[in-house]
Structure 1
Amino acid sequence: MTTRLPAAVLWDMDGTLVDTERYWMAAEEELVESFGGAWTHDDALQLVGSGLWEAAAVFQAKGVALDADAIVARLTARVREQLDEHGVPWRPGAKELLEALRAASVPCALVTMSIRAMADDVIAAIPFHAFDVVVTGDVVERAKPHPEPYLTAAAQLGVDITECVAIEDSPAGLTSAFASGAVAVGVPNFLALDEAPSTVLWPTLEGVTVADVSALLAVREATA
């Protein structure tokens, strides 16, 4: 059985690498309520993993009288304020695995539906060179759950997507990763992933090693 390293590991950001979903939820609630509307936790859960411009239509339907670009800018600014105030909340084991992959010379990409400015805030908090490629929601035409974000990352890295491992926390993101042809690893956070297409579900990244990630390629080949 092969033990080769993956061609690349492709990381979702919000909810996978960093535990920022609660920041987004707070920003969403503030936005809707500022226009006299109501925003529930269930409303917020429906948008986890979605593209920001796609989500803008939901806020407009809730009474937010702004265009899509203004909604995205306002939400992102508020989340960035919270990051600045509270710091970057890493998901268990995520930064450690990312650092181990980099030490093993595995190419890595960040594939997030947040805009580039916010991705840069998170990247700046990582004390090592983490990503060779960054794909953000403001540079793709079709957001997750479409596979375009992951296919774009693989193309920019110059690797075969089927030789890549993608790590996600949301049904929309996992659907995107799986549809791209990557080995799709689901690590649930706010939402259960049992109904989403995946290669494997892991309860956490805590204690996960480079060897564990590499073994996924061999397992998929053995069961193909």
Structure 2
Amino acid sequence: MTELQAVLWDMDGTLVDTEPYWIAAEYRLVESFGGTWNDEHAESLVGNPLLVSAAYLREHGRVDLPPEEIVDRLLDEVIQATTERIVWRPGVLRCLAELKAAAIPCAMVTMSYLNLATAVADQLPPGTFQSLVTGDQLSRGKPDPEAYLTAARRLGVDPTRCVAIEDSPAGLGSAEAAGCVVIGVPNQVRLEPAPGRILLPTLENVGVADLRGYVSERVAL
């Protein structure tokens, strides 16, 4: 079957512009421990599993807390900021609405934890996402393929007939390793071209017909 079976969405920086919230929270946390932080450090954490980011903050930001507590503190700040003001990435809401109307299932695939993913999903119409795959549910984070393979399994679909949408190198690597058709939409960090990788400036002009076409093109190769 060449038909698009599902669309798998990264969250931070892809669905919603939460990366500035994460970066601001990192700066505040590091500074509270007398450390120094910069945008290069912050950008190196984009797309990482949260415990990996927490270990980096301990090492480079002098944050003297257990990794789990670092994650909890960052999440609390980002959830609060997202609840107060959520910024959807261009084209996302229209694309999600088209997919829902076409009865094409969607999953959120994020290294953020379930409490933040739920806070984002709750601001969308019911039934927008059929599954939330989050970092606290996985044993291996991006760029390992586990996250995207888990999403495909939960939806009962073939990952090679899924489109995955990402904004980070780690996320792209995860989706590609799972066999998905991958769209990269840059946000905070640069995405490099690679064979089979689709890079778009935004999703503003992307609809269901385009996503179906990307899957059909892959199958035809």
- TM category (shorter chain) comes to over 0.9
Cα displacement (A) at 1:130 = 0.9
Q: 1:217 to 1:19 in 2, by over 3 A?
A: same
TM-score (normalizing by structure 2): 0.96
Equivalent residues of 1:49, 1:173 under 8 A apart: yes
Which residues of 2 match residues 93-132 of structure 1 at below 5 A? 93-132=91-130
Equivalent residues of 1:174, 1:196 under 8 A apart: no
The residue type paired with residue 125 of structure 1 is Q
Runs of 5+ unmatched residues, structure 1: none
Aligned position for 1:203:
201
Q: Secondary structure at the match of 1:159?
A: coil
Aligned position for 1:171:
169
TM-score (normalizing by structure 1): 0.95
Equivalent residues of 2:11, 2:110 under 8 A apart: yes
CA distance in 1, matches of 2:108, 2:162: 13
Equivalent residues of 2:113, 2:135 under 8 A apart: yes
Q: Percent identity?
A: 52
Which residues of 2 match residues 65-80 of structure 1 at below 5 A? 65-80=64-79
Q: 1:151 to 1:187 in 2, by over 3 A?
A: same
CA distance in 2, matches of 1:36, 1:114: 26
CA distance in 2, matches of 1:64, 1:89: 29
Q: Secondary structure at the match of 2:137?
A: coil
Partner of residue 161 from structure 1, selected from 159, 162, 182:
159
Partner of residue 16 from structure 1, selected from 14, 17, 24:
14
Q: Does 1:37 align with 2:39?
A: no
Aligned position for 1:187:
185
CA RMSD of aligned residues (A): 1.3
Q: 1:105 to 1:5 in 2, by over 3 A?
A: farther
Q: Secondary structure at the match of 1:138?
A: helix
Cα displacement (A) at 1:203 = 1.2
Give the number of aligned pairs: 220
Cα displacement (A) at 1:190 = 1.2
Runs of 5+ unmatched residues, structure 2: none
